[in-house]
């Protein structure tokens, strides 16, 4: 649920930048969602959707830890798996998401 809320807020702020009416935000709202990071939140959402299509357990671990704020142990309890499995999924998914969000630029061709 927190993932949906964060992504929706990022999209709304993007729309506001394009001429929507200004909206006053409270200190708490401003604390949790930095406007400069909206594109990153949306890119993360898209990458998480792609990861979920490939491996839903790894995507769920990321959601619980990142958006739910759960510890490794709490995530393991919720998912019914070992803490070590959560750690492996976490490590793999973080790298996978980083590559999905920031694909490596093709190496420049050498000119001789």
Distance CA 15, CA 7 (A): 12
Q: Average pLDDT of 7-14?
A: 71
Tokens of 52: 């979920």
Distance CA 5, CA 110 (A): 46
Q: Which residue has the higher pLDDT, 99 or 34?
A: 99
- Averaged confidence pLDDT in the chain: 78
pLDDT confidence of 106, banded at 50, 70, 90? low
**65-86 pLDDT, tens digit each:** 988 889 999 999 999 999 999 9
Q: Which fold has domain 2-101?
A: Arc Repressor Mutant, subunit A (1.10.10)
Q: How far is CA 68 from CA 34, 101, 108, in A?
A: 18, 21, 41
Tokens of 80: 């019914």
Tokens of 45: 């959402």
pTM exceeding 0.85 = no
> Looking up tokens 């490590």, which residue turns up?
91
Domain coordinates in residue numbering, the chain: 2-101
């Amino acid at each position: 649920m927190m993932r949906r809320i964060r992504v929706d807020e990022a999209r709304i702020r993007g729309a506001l930048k394009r001429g929507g009416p200004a909206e006053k935000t409270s200190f708490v709202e401003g604390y949790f969602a930095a406007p400069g990071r909206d594109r990153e939140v949306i890119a993360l959402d898209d990458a998480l959707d792609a990861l979920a299509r490939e491996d839903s357990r790894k995507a769920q671990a990321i959601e619980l830890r990142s958006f739910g704020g759960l510890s490794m142990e709490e995530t393991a309890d919720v998912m019914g798996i070992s803490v070590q499995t959560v750690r492996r999924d976490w490590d793999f998914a973080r790298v996978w998401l980083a590559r999905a969000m920031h694909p490596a630029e093709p190496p420049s061709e050498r000119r001789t």
